[in-house]
Structure 1
Amino acid sequence: MAKAEAAPEEGAPKKGGRKKLILLALPLVLGGVGAGLWFSGILPKLLGMGHHEEAHAAAPAEPAPPPPPRPVFVQMPDITANLNAGGRRAVYIRLKSQLEVVGEPDAQAVQAAMPRLVDLFTTYLREMRPEEMRGSAGTHRLREELMARAAIAAHPARVTDVLFQEILVQ
């Protein structure tokens, strides 16, 4: 008999189930609509909160920061050096390059340090092996090393790049 009495209770429809669902879903739907109106900008205008944007538009803009100084390019003298061939036939490199600096004061400092730059570049090139110069990876390593040496020699001037015009290895 206990089984017979339990069966009708399980199969009976729950009272108030739809009402609970509506009461739970209604705030979620209204919140979603409100958030959509707020982020689309409609609700702030309806509530009179849109005047802040007009006040910012009418306020004078702060002066723009000055543009960064244009780079200046300093021509390096042509450098010819023999590479470290390790007892084989002599291998030479001829390098034409420019240094990119931040502004005219740095260009003058680089010009003043030019003998030191040429010495550092030549000394480094004499230690390089011909195999190290092959491919774009070799050129990239050469650029990085020459930039490091240029930064040391021309300090406090800021050398931002070494630009190769000609690299000839023979």
Structure 2
Amino acid sequence: MSDATATAPDSADDAPKKKSKMPLVLGLVFALLGGGGGFMAVQMGLIGGETAGDEAHAPDPLEPLPPVAFVPLEPLLISLPNRSGHQYLRFVAQIEVAPEHAADVEAIKPRIVDVLNGYLRAVEVADFDDPNALMRLRAQMLRRVQVVAGEGRVRDLLIMEFVLS
């Protein structure tokens, strides 16, 4: 029995020691101090934001928008090939022009509709599946409208509806 008592572990001496929580507490304290110091520095204007001289400066007023007119186009309904899975494309747009050119563009609207109708019928249906297709189609149509209307008359082509059904 003397061997058994000699090899029995001493519970007080061999118990695992707990790790100190001091680094965790110090990290938390430094994080709070750093966050508070950063908040105060921003509030006082020492870091980023406005300086004391900027507070008295009023913001500049916004410049007025240039005059603009919109010429609406009649809705176009384009029939698509049966193999595409879609039957029709409904297209509605407006043309952005300077007010002094609105009457000129209104007068040639049938030509513009004809050019857009011809272009949209020539586009491959597979091109509509591309996520960037609308941006590319819009740029192509705008260029064609600008050529028909004459340089400087048309500013932009705004697509109101582009629906495949």
Q: TM-score range by the shorter chain?
A: 0.5 to 0.7
Q: Is the aligned partner of 1:95 residue 2:95?
A: no
* Pairing 1:3-152 to 2, within 5 Å after superposition: 69-83=66-80, 85=81, 91-101=87-97, 103-152=98-147
CA contact (8 A) 1:110 1:157 kept: no
Between the aligned partners of 1:167 and 1:87, the Cα distance in structure 2 is 20
TM-score by length of 2: 0.55
CA contact (8 A) 1:82 1:125 kept: no
Q: Report SS of the residue matched to 2:112.
A: helix
Question: How far apart are 1:104 and its partner, in Å?
Answer: 1.8
Question: How far apart are 1:136 and its partner, in Å?
Answer: 3.9
Partner of 1:38: none
- Structure 1 143/88 Cα, relative in aligned 2: closer, same or farther at 3 Å? closer
Question: How far apart are 1:90 and its partner, in Å?
Answer: 6.4
CA contact (8 A) 2:86 2:164 kept: no
- Alignment: residue pair count: 103
1:151 aligned partner, one-letter code: Q
Residue 158 of structure 1 is aligned with which of 128, 153, 156? 153
Q: Name the % identity.
A: 29
Q: Which runs of 5+ in 2 are unaligned?
A: 1-63
Runs of 4+ in 1 over 4 A off after TM superposition: 86-90
Q: Which runs of 5+ in 1 are unaligned?
A: 1-66
TM-score by length of 1: 0.54
Q: Report SS of the residue matched to 2:132.
A: helix
Between the aligned partners of 2:84 and 2:141, the Cα distance in structure 1 is 26
Q: Report SS of the residue matched to 1:122.
A: helix
TM-align CA RMSD: 2.4
